[in-house]
Amino acid sequence: MLIKQLSVFLENKQGKLRAALQVLADKGVNISALSLADTSDFGILRLIVDDPEKAKEVLTETGVVVLISHVLAIAMDDVPGGMAEILHQLADAELNIEYMYACVGRQSGKALTIMRLDDTKRAEELLSKGKHGQVNPSDIYRL
């Protein structure tokens, strides 16, 4: 399924990540998954949270630049080869992954992954036809 992700622009400086996360903590926003992509100058913090709109609002108030976009959440079998099978399907459909990160799932026997692809929507359609991709929204937003 497609879920909302927050992207936050951060200067690559001490304390910038902490400041952003502290705001979320103070406002009671819970983080389900995160990844930090960095360059020498800046980073992009990507977050899956329980309340994306509220998170965007409180972060914007502190003066950081925030963007909400849709990414693909996939629940796969938590067995050897589970990920490989998904990647096979995507490769066969000539879909390219731009980035991905894992998150901890509560659903027993399932592993959760967040992905952005060159065509995220088509990937979602593809995977929703199979046994994968059936993610319960509550599993993602409130782990």
Partner 1 sequence: MNNKDIDFLPREQLRALQLERLQDTVRRSYEKVECFRRRMDEKGLKPSDVKDLKDLARLPFSYKQDLRDYYPYGLFAVPLDEVVRVHASSGTTGKRIVVGYTQNDLEMWADTTARMLTSLGVTEKDVVQVSFGYGLFTGGFGLHAGAEKVGATVIPMSSGNTPLQIQTMIDFGATVLCCTPSYAMYMAEEVGKMGVKDQLSLKVGIFGAEPWSENMRHKIEEGLGIKAYDIYGLSEVLGPGVSCECQAQAGMHVREDYFIAEIIDPETQEVLPEGSEGELVFTSLAKEAFPVIRYRTRDICRLIPEMCPCGRTHLRMAKPQGRTDDMMIIRGVNVFPSQIEEVLLRVCGDKITPNYQIVLDRVNHNDTFDINVEMSPSFFTDDIKSIECLERNIVESLRSALGIGAKVHLVNPNSIVRSEGKAKRVLDLRKDKI
- Catalog residues that contact partner 1 under the rule CB under 8 A: 5, 7, 9-11, 16, 37, 39, 41-42, 44, 46, 63-65, 67, 69, 98, 116
Work out the burial of residue 104: count CB atoms within 10 Å of its CB; fewer than 13 is exposed, 13-18 middle, 19 or more buried.
exposed
> Shortest approach of partner 1 to residue 24 CB, angstroms?
16
Cβ nearer to partner 1, comparing 37 with 87? 37
Cβ nearer to partner 1, comparing 99 with 131? 99
Work out the burial of residue 97: count CB atoms within 10 Å of its CB; fewer than 13 is exposed, 13-18 middle, 19 or more buried.
middle
> Shortest approach of partner 1 to residue 41 CB, angstroms?
5
Cβ nearer to partner 1, comparing 47 with 76? 47
Enter the tokens of residue 59: 């972060």
Give the span between the Cα atoms of 123 and 133, in whole angstroms. Answer: 10
Contact status, residue 115 vs residue 1, Cβ threshold 8 Å:
no
> Shortest approach of partner 1 to residue 105 CB, angstroms?
23
Cβ nearer to partner 1, comparing 68 with 79? 68
Enter the tokens of residue 61: 């108030």
> Shortest approach of partner 1 to residue 143 CB, angstroms?
22
